[in-house]
Structure 1
Amino acid sequence: MKYLLLLIATILSVAASAQTIPTRGSSYQDSVRASAAEGKVIMVNGEPVNKAMDFIENLTASKSNAIFLNALRVSGMYGTLKSRGPLTLLLPADSALKQQLAARLDTLLKPAHKYELVNLLSYHILPGRYTSKDLIKLIKDTQGTATILTLAGSKLTATINENRNLILTDNSGGKSVISLFDIEESNGIMHTLSKCLIPQDRAL
């Protein structure tokens, strides 16, 4: 399992290596303006998300996801989120990563802990495209608790609480609220989370 995760990350990264990552600058701003005129751009937490761009392009253009983006780079998983997809990204806030992982985050970014980092990041990616409507239907079809397989091979459970929030529960029992839904990307869809999801028994 350990080597399979690393192999998947490596293959996808090589496949995407010829693709360029945009930087914030005049060309990016021109692209945003042009896409906004075509209705391709929405604002998420005050920042533009262009549905004609892939996950990595939009994360790179954001000022709010530097920790998650750096973890993707260090782990070799850029290629995963630049692949054709479709994928569903469950994006934790950088503040949640810092709070929950604390000093452990620096350790995870070291080469010796690449497997744990790949496992953590893959736990936030679902194969396929799951909109909020898809998740709600799964929950209703399974009498209130849906089990979802992540790219890491581990499972999450999805429920709806008394306040009608969509809740994801990780293997360790931690709960995260989906705070923003259905953010379109060229190769999938993204939902933002209130907390980081922690896989079980991975020394995290």
Structure 2
Amino acid sequence: MNLSLRALSVAAMISVASIGGAFAQENPMVGGAAMFADKNIVENAVNSADHTTLVAAVKAAGLVDTLSGPGPFTVLAPTNEAFAALPAGTVDNLLKPENKDMLTKILTCHVIAAKALSTDIVSMVDADGGKHVVDTVGGCKLTLEAKDGKVTVTDENGTVANVTIADVIQSNGVIHVIDKVLTPKM
């Protein structure tokens, strides 16, 4: 028994070392821009041509300092296309100063107060039998699933977002690019 536990521990250390080596690879490009692991979430996001709406929303909500802070954060970053798919006028309405609280709530429903790489997400989903519910900074509950090598995130309203680019390492966490805007239950 002791020998098999030792073998299991060695196998786990080898797996962790292998995963660690994978993270030493360069970050994927996002929105035509290089993403640098030594820069924070905001410093990288402002360079992505695919996230100009998200960056404008983060600025309007007053979240720049928060997302530039030490974290760690996992940000599920909707693309411009994801925002454009919302009903006409939604984004313009949310960016108005009088709607700052609602905008902040929506944006913080895309932030998890931990660094969760795709391997972490898959492990949590597997441990929970196929679905893992996570709380966001904004108080939303998101359901994570992993099937056929793809991760999806479902909000409280049933909107399903696909992770299109995973594991964009930041100095204060990680970004996963998603193809839908997640919203709190209303």
- The TM-score with structure 2 as length reference comes to 0.82
Using the aligned pairs only, state the percent identity: 28
> Which structure's CA Rg is the greater one?
2
Within 5 Å, give how 1:86-165 maps onto structure 2.
Answer: 86-161=72-147, 163-165=148-150
Structure 1: distance between partners of 2:31 and 2:49? 10
Give a deviation string over 1:76-135, Cα, whole Å, max 9, x none: 011111010110010011111111243111111111111100000001110010000110
Aligned CA-pair RMSD: 1.5
Question: Runs (4+) of structure 1 moved beyond 4 Å?
Answer: 39-42
Query: CA offsets per residue over residues 36-62 of structure 1, 9 Å max, x none?
Result: xxx866523432111111111111222
- Name the residue aligned to 1:64: 50
Say if 1:42 and 1:50, in contact at 8 Å, map to a contact too: no
| 2:153 matches 1:168 | yes
Aligned partner of 1:53 in structure 2 is 39
Unaligned runs of 5+ in 1: 1-38
User: Which whole-Å CA distance do the structure 1 matches of 2:185 and 2:67 have between them?
Assistant: 23
* Partner-residue secondary structure (3-state), 2:156: coil
Cα pair 1:147 1:157 within 8 Å, conserved: yes
Tell me how far apart the structure 2 counterparts of residues 127 and 157 of structure 1 sit (CA, whole Å).
15
Does the 8 Å CA contact 2:31/2:48 hold for their aligned counterparts? Answer: no
Paired residues, what number?
A: 162
Measured at CA, do residues 181 and 145 of structure 1 come closer, stay the same or move farther in structure 2, by a change above 3 Å?
same
CA distance in 1, matches of 2:129, 2:115: 22
Is the contact between residue 32 and residue 49 of structure 2 (CA under 8 Å) also seen in structure 1?
no
